[in-house]
Amino acid sequence: MNSYQNLSLLENLYRLKALGFSYVDPINPNSTKAQPLSLPNSYNALMETIQGCHLCDLSKSRSQSMTGYGSKNPKIVFVDAFVSSAEDESNTYYVGRSGGMLRDMIEKVLNLSLQDVYITHAVKCKPFGFQQPSSSECNSCSPFLQKQLEMLNPQIIVTLGHDAYRLVSHDESSFEQVRGHIIPFGKTSIIPIFHPTYLVRNPSFKKEAMRDLTTIKETLK
């Protein structure tokens, strides 16, 4: 919209105000709780729905939606908060140094195959640049994640970092209060752990991360 159009619009708004009209802030339909969606009960149909989603502006920033990867009957579902640029570009999981670290956690510490677990994101599309998704964008994706977790019905949900824990649980507790704890969540439990990217940048926390992985391993017994 050019400056002339802006000026014309502003003049029209002042004219309406002089006639007695009043204004209210626009209502964002996704600004509070996620709106209920009629989602399919078939896993493949749900994946197609996620892939074709255009509920928010993040659909403009992505190469594709990242639906999820792994077993459809997993012992553990790992939930990351947001799609990274590397994941979006390659359309694959476990990429880069943090992806390699998560793979090692699963295979070398938990002694599980990648085919025994499932990994997904709370927000299915890559954010714009380095920005965090807005609450509206997160809420748009929330029903998809809830439906996935309902279908997969894992023994444990492992959230990677504070943002993932908050988006799954809607709990605003500080991360240090919940990290490594077994938190009841419906028919399953959440165990929040450090995000692998944080551990790559802060290797001094790897011992604490190992204790959290031991908690996960013992819970699976």
**What is the DSSP track for 181-199?**
--EEETTEEEEEE--HHHH
**Are β-strands 156-160 and 69-70 bridged in parallel, bridged antiparallel, or unpaired?**
unpaired
Residue ranges and CATH numbers for the domains of the chain are 41-219 (3.40.470.10)
* Its pTM surpasses 0.85: no
Predicted confidence at residue 57, as pLDDT, reads 87
Query: In which band, very low, low, confident or very high, does the pLDDT at 198 lie, cut at 50, 70 and 90?
Result: very high
* 206 Cβ contact list (under 8 Å, min separation 6): 199
Q: CA-CA distance, 88 to 91, in Å (whole number)?
A: 5
Q: Is the pLDDT of residue 130 over 80?
A: no
Q: Is the pLDDT of residue 26 over 50?
A: no
99, two tokens: 């992806």
Tell me the torsion sign for CA atoms 22, 25, 30, 34: negative
Q: CA-CA distance, 29 to 111, in Å (whole number)?
A: 44
Tens of pLDDT, residues 80-126: 999 998 998 999 999 999 999 999 999 999 999 999 999 999 999 98
Q: Are 81 and 163 in contact (CB under 8 A)?
A: yes
